[in-house]
Structure 1
Amino acid sequence: MTGRVCDLGHLMPVDEAISRLLDLAPPPPLAQKIGLDQALGRVLAADIHSPVNLPAWDNSAMDGYARRAADLPADGGCLSIGGRIAAGDSACSPLLAQQAVQIFTGAPLPPGADTVVPQERCRIDGERVWFPPVNAGDHVRKEGEEVRRGDLLLQAGKRLRAQEVGLLAGAGIARVEVYRPLQVCLLSSGNELREPGDSLAPGQIYNSNRYCLAALLSGWGVEVHDYGVMADELAASRHALSLASSECDLLLSSGGVSVGEEDHLKQAIEELGSLDFWRLAIQPGKPLAFGEVAGKPWIGMPGNPSAALITALVVVRPFLLRAQGVKDVLPVPLAVPAGFDWLQRNKRRQYLRARLTPGVDGQLSVELHPQQSSAMLTAACWADGLAVIECEQQVLKHDNVMFLSFADLMH
């Protein structure tokens, strides 16, 4: 990677745009209590402390035999079998000296036992069991070794995944306090747009942004109110925006935000609230508009499909997550060797459709799709993430580049 000096001119750096949007994000919706069966993808509104120890008691990590380590010398020996304990057994008699008990995974250790020996390492001789050399404490899960009663389990602002839902259930927590889903109105602008399945006249295109952005928003945990395509008439735009602002927490639209475009959307927003145009140092993309409609935040994104997708993933996603109460909203990029040369300098940060490819040595590298047009989605379908090329950066093969995974960005 060569050295570089960035002169952005009148373009706003991407990081500054994200920071501004985060500062402008509204507070999250009111909280509600829900059952765990509804909790996936929801955002915690309060810290959760464990009401129990995890594990709740000393238990066996293996199927085998529980014993007292001090009962035999270091090189092993033989003990009598004094019983059997299965998972779910509630009461255990104390382990007698020179005795072992058969035990199953998850079963509570009897008082006095401190070691479990896997059954495949033991030899049974009638009512006796022969042990190899072992270490005291082997294969025992100690009470509270994972979580102690009163420990902080999960912090407010955490968006719940399957593993967090499982942890809460394991701690005996049946209901959690979460923020209500953010209500987002999605609108499209452009007289050229038609619905999939309709016939196209010359100059018309199918409205891919409507479905792509709605799918993204659903993946981010918001409830989408799809308002379809606004007619490019002032009265129609004003009516659609006014209705949307009365029903939703936030408005998003695609198309009609480039400076100089003749579009009634901009005039309608200015009449109903406020409008600010930003020119971002991002490619694909650049035009972004932010404003308010009747006191509700509105973001206008580019109309080109790949530009709309990447602007949403990189810039809009953190804003929407913060508006839902999520604490950590920025993705963590990976540094991965480039499998390409990139010698063209650009004043904008570039987000190139890319995929991770393993080499013969197992080392991952980043490969680029040959087509990086802002209008085409085929490259994004081929890709599993974005390679980030900074302003004026040149990349040589094997240089590290930053890679953002779609798996992270679309969650």
Structure 2
Amino acid sequence: MTTIIQPSCSDNEEPGALHVDDALAHMLSAVSPVKGYEQVALLEAVSRVLHEPVVSPIDVPSHTNSAVDGYALRGEDLPGPGDVARFQVVGTALAGTPFVGELLSGQAVRIMTGASMPNGADTVLMQEHVDFDGERISVTGGRHRVGDNVRLAGEDIKQGETILKPGRRLTPPDIGLIASMGIGEVKVKRRPRVALLSTGSELHSLGKALGGGGVYDSNRYTLHAALKRLSVKVMDQGTVPDDPELLTEAFMRAAAAADVVISTGGVSVGEADFVKEILSSIGTVGFWKIAMKPGRPLAFGSIGGTTFVGLPGNPVAAIVSFYRFVLPLLEKKMGVQEYSVMPMLKAKCVERLAKKPGRTEYQRGILERTETGDWEVRTTGSQSSGILRSMSLANVLIALEHDRADVEPGDLVDVLPLAYLM
């Protein structure tokens, strides 16, 4: 791993801080997908990443069938424009119960959606487009064509066709697609093991009374919940106080058991911030300072063959940094080939936003649609990186570009819907 030389993280002017895109590119270039796979039942495969291609063993549909409820007949018998033809209804075809026999000229079969086409029939007329007197249907020419409302065998998928490629993260429609081919198990990549821990002597477990200056460990719960949305195995390592010996032991223990270690806190330059120092002694440091708000201090490196990410301790900075950097990093570790696209919308900002050029900012916002159909966005209030409620209230992140200055009311800004991330 290449180490990027950076000045102190305490420098308020941020010289040498990595651009957000450069930091992400460096992180992605430093990690590789996990090795190994397992075979799982199809119902357990959603959100897992395919290890090998899915090849269809059958045609889908497996038989030529009707796309509607109606009447099957021979297309060559359709009347010309303005003419009327009558057809004798000689039977019924249901899904799973086909009509037996050959359909002759002048005959029709009552057919339901999904039922196999009778021998000799190549066209289906919707029941709403014919008149039925109990024995015969009357058809007026001009509105029907040969082949109407028929789904051909193999029209969706052909036998032997590669349907899904390795590296695809399986979605609910993918699961249904695989089921339609009669496949009950798939080979998927092994889940990356992610060790998660919080650092800080001030952290208290939930349910215990807070001492002087103490806070509850919300970061670990926030990140644990975010990780549960991914195809990873979460290894909760609890909290570790600001003690270099205990931190070193915890990091090495986590790295020995995991593919990725994520910690929060201790990545700045305070007297009790030891993460960068420890990482330098037991592993390698790629960088620790990003031109981003919130989330400027972020330690990235490795311990042995294990990737290490030290996120900021401030709650908002931790989760924003997770979504901006750790999420795509974990997607690569999972073996995802089709990376998630972060959809950005343009919205009119209804308030003034203070912004200093030279860093990317993600402010928490509330996106609403006006009566005229335009999108407007406002902040959730205070943008302090310690106010986790601002993330809970928000439905978007307002993404302010690296070189952008102050935003005035009425200016257009990019917004990232949090529904995509959460």
What TM-score, normalized to structure 1? Answer: 0.92
Range 105-114 or range 263-272, more displaced:
263-272
CA distance in 1, matches of 2:123, 2:383: 60
Q: 1:34 aligns with which of 13, 37, 40?
A: 40
Q: Give the corresponding residue for 2:232.
A: 222
Q: Which of the numbers 88, 96, 102 marks the counterpart of 2:96?
A: 88
1:172 maps to a residue whose letter is G
- Residue 405 (str. 1) matches residue 411 (str. 2): no
Give the CA deviation at 1:91: 6.4
2:246 to 236, 239, 246: 236
2:175 is matched with which residue? Answer: 165
How many residues are aligned here? 404
Aligned to 1:114: 122
**1:21 pairs with 2:27:** yes
Q: CA deviation at 1:240?
A: 1.5
Q: C-alpha displacement at 1:341, in angstroms?
A: 4.5
SS of aligned partner of 1:235: helix
SS state of the match for residue 245, structure 1? helix
Give, in whole Å, the separation in 2 of the partners of 1:112 and 1:355. Answer: 61
1:58 alignment partner in structure 2: 64
Which residue is equivalent to 1:4?
none
8 Å Cα contact 2:227/2:234 also seen in 1 = yes
Contact 1:186 1:228 in 2 (8 A): yes
One-letter code aligned to 1:301: L
Mapped pair 1:195 → 2:205 = yes
Shift of 1:299: 0.5
Quickly say closer, same or farther: Cα 1:237–1:9, change in 2 above 3 A.
Answer: closer
Q: Which amino acid aligns with 2:295?
A: G
- Secondary structure of the residue aligned to 1:137 is coil
Offset at residue 142 of structure 1 (A): 2.1
The Cα shift of 1:234 comes to: 2.4
Q: Which residue of 2 aligns with 1:353?
A: 364
Task: Return the offset for 1:223.
Answer: 1.0
170-179 or 111-120, larger mean C-alpha shift:
111-120
Whether contact under 8 Å (2:349, 2:412) holds in the other structure is no
Structure 1 residues 179-199: Cα deviation after superposition (integer angstroms, max 9, x where no partner)? 111110001000011122210
Aligned partners of 1:117, 1:266: CA distance in 2, in Å? Answer: 73
Q: Distance in 2 between matches of 1:292 and 1:392?
A: 31
Report the secondary structure of 2:415's partner residue: strand
Mark the CA change 1:8 to 1:113 in structure 2 (over 3 Å): closer, same or farther.
farther
Please show how residues 77-156 of structure 1 align to structure 2 within 5 Å. 77-89=85-97, 92-132=100-140, 133-156=143-166
Cα distance 1:220–1:109, how it changes in 2: closer, same or farther (>3 A)?
Answer: same
- The answer to whether the aligner puts 1:254 opposite 2:259 as a matched pair is no
Q: Structure 1 residues 118 and 396 mapped into 2: Cα distance closer, same or farther (>3 Å)?
A: farther
Mapped to 1, the partners of 2:203 and 2:47 lie a distance apart of 32
Shift of 1:398: 5.6
Runs of 4+ in 1 over 6 A off after TM superposition: none
Q: CA shift at 1:121, angstroms?
A: 2.8
How many angstroms does 1:397 deviate by?
A: 5.3
Q: 1:362 aligned to 2:373?
A: yes
Give 3-state SS (helix, strand or coil) of 1:70's partner: helix
Secondary structure at the aligned position of 2:284 is classed as strand
Q: Is the 8 A contact 1:66 1:116 kept in 2?
A: yes
In 2, Cα distance between the equivalents of 1:374 and 1:306? 5
% identity of equivalent residues:
37
Residue 78 of structure 2 aligns with which residue? 72
1:337–1:397 contact (8 Å) kept in structure 2 = no
Structure-1 residue corresponding to 2:9: none
Normalising by structure 2, we get a TM-score of 0.90
Where does structure 2 lack aligned partners over 5 or more consecutive residues? Answer: 1-12
